[in-house]
Amino acid sequence: MKLNFLNLIPSAITIIYVTYGSWFLIKEIFCSILPFTVIFTAAIVCLLVVLRVPPPEPSAVEAVLGKDPHLETTSNDYVMKTVAHRGAGLDAPENSLAAFKLCNQKGCDAIEFDVCLTKDGVPIVFHDNTLERMANSNLIVGDTTWEDLANIDISVNHSQKERFVNTKIPTLEQTVQQLLTDGQRMFIDIKDNNYKMVGVIQELFKKYPELVSRAVVTSFFPNIIYWIRRGNPEIVGSLSYRPYAFSRDSFKYPEGKGNKRTEAVFKYYLLCSLDALLAWAVPRIIYYILGLSTILLHKDAISGEVILDWRDKGVRVIAWSVNSPIEKQHLARNLKISYLTDTLTGETTVHNAPS
């Protein structure tokens, strides 16, 4: 029999701490000449202001993202409606030059792709830690040199493999060159929590200064975004986020939380604590320090209230990953936000049909 009363324990503890905390706070303020709480609060605020990386100017953000979809626009205004997730990986082998070319031919607004490092430090465009899903190989990307990865065919498991025979993993350099040549906007998603990526991205923007008006840099790791933007505040920054990212391997409505990342009790509850801390800090402190212009939110963690809250902070919400036509229509027509999708099939119908 499930002990439902156990669910009341966290709420009871919260009530206790709030009650006692409020009492001691009031007592200190009225009984101390210079309350420590006031000093400590002022110190934290000053520290956050000093550490903060300011966001780019709104005009610079608009150059990349276009007009906010919820605003009134004219036919000449650029509005980023659809972002091809991994280059629309259901239509062509994900994160490949062939997929990016197909997206461009279909008139896609922007392309999201993933960046990680090989063993010898070459930045490549690839999502997974291993090649098992894409190429039936047990090679670990971070433990393999670029020379050994360069000739691997990543089309072998794709439903359209006959159309994209012998598709290779591209480097970051190859990808950026092709997308800039095609006049494509892009989301560069940093997959590694590796400080070497900070230098890689900063050097990339130095070599291709036009990226400032063409690219958004995003990651699940706030520290990586912070140091990238600290070195170049002109870069449009984003944070990728989903609930339970530390403790669970997935999150999806209506199924809910995925499998635990660990069965070790102490480690699991530590990860749960990190989830709670991140969920609290992202909309209160982290976005401010990073100077975010947009946040990529899991589609099942989005509501109208969430969108308005972020809009009040000057941050745009973009949903990921949205493949159902019904969900696309809801986000585009009702919530009026952009989204990442794995397929461009039906995009014209989603955006051009009457509301």
Q: For 92-139, write each residue's pLDDT tens digit.
A: 999 999 999 999 999 998 999 999 999 999 999 999 999 999 999 999
Question: Helices (H) and strands (E) in the chain — how many of each?
Answer: 14, 11
Burial class (CB within 10 angstroms; exposed 0-12, middle 13-18, buried 19+) of 266: exposed
* Strand-pair category, 251-252 with 256-257: antiparallel
In 10 A of CB 41, how many CB atoms? 11
Percent of the chain residues topping a pLDDT of 90: 80
Q: What is the pLDDT of residues 316-330, one digit of tens each?
A: 999 999 999 999 999
Label residue 312 by pLDDT band (50, 70, 90).
very high
Bridge partners, residue 26, by sequence: none
Residue type, 187: F
Closest by CA to 89, choosing from 78, 104, 73, 100, is 100
Contact between residue 83 and residue 95 where contact means Cβ atoms under 8 Å apart:
no
Measure the CA–CA gap between 128 and 115, rounded to whole angstroms: 10
Tokens coding 128: 């997974």
Label residue 174 by pLDDT band (50, 70, 90).
very high
Percent of the chain residues topping a pLDDT of 70: 95
Contact between residue 87 and residue 95 where contact means Cβ atoms under 8 Å apart:
yes
Burial class (CB within 10 angstroms; exposed 0-12, middle 13-18, buried 19+) of 19: exposed
Is residue 6 over pLDDT 70?
A: no
User: What is the dihedral sign for C-alpha 200, 204, 206, 209?
Assistant: negative
Q: What is the pLDDT of residues 243-281, one digit of tens each?
A: 999 999 999 988 889 999 999 999 999 999 999 999 999
Segments of 28-88 assigned E as strands: 82-85
Higher pLDDT, 196 or 2: 196
What is the pLDDT at residue 32?
Answer: 72
What is the pLDDT at residue 355?
Answer: 46
Which CATH architecture fits 56-241+291-352? Alpha-Beta Barrel (3.20)
What is the pLDDT at residue 22?
Answer: 85
Show me where the domains of the chain are located. 7-51, 56-241+291-352
Mean pLDDT of the chain: 92
**Contacts for 286 with CB less than 8 Å, ≥ 6 apart:** 222, 239, 278
What is the pLDDT at residue 3?
Answer: 55
Q: For the whole model, what pTM was predicted? A: 0.91
What is the pLDDT at residue 1?
Answer: 42
Tokens coding 236: 């449009």
Is residue 297 over pLDDT 80?
A: yes
**Contacts for 314 with CB less than 8 Å, ≥ 6 apart:** 55, 293
Higher pLDDT, 299 or 43: 299
User: Largest alpha-carbon pair distance within the chain?
Assistant: 78
Q: Which H or E run contains 339?
A: strand 338-341
Is residue 63 over pLDDT 90?
A: yes
Contact between residue 205 and residue 199 where contact means Cβ atoms under 8 Å apart:
no
Measure the CA–CA gap between 61 and 55, rounded to whole angstroms: 9
Closest by CA to 90, choosing from 322, 283, 331, 332, is 322
Measure the CA–CA gap between 143 and 116, rounded to whole angstroms: 12
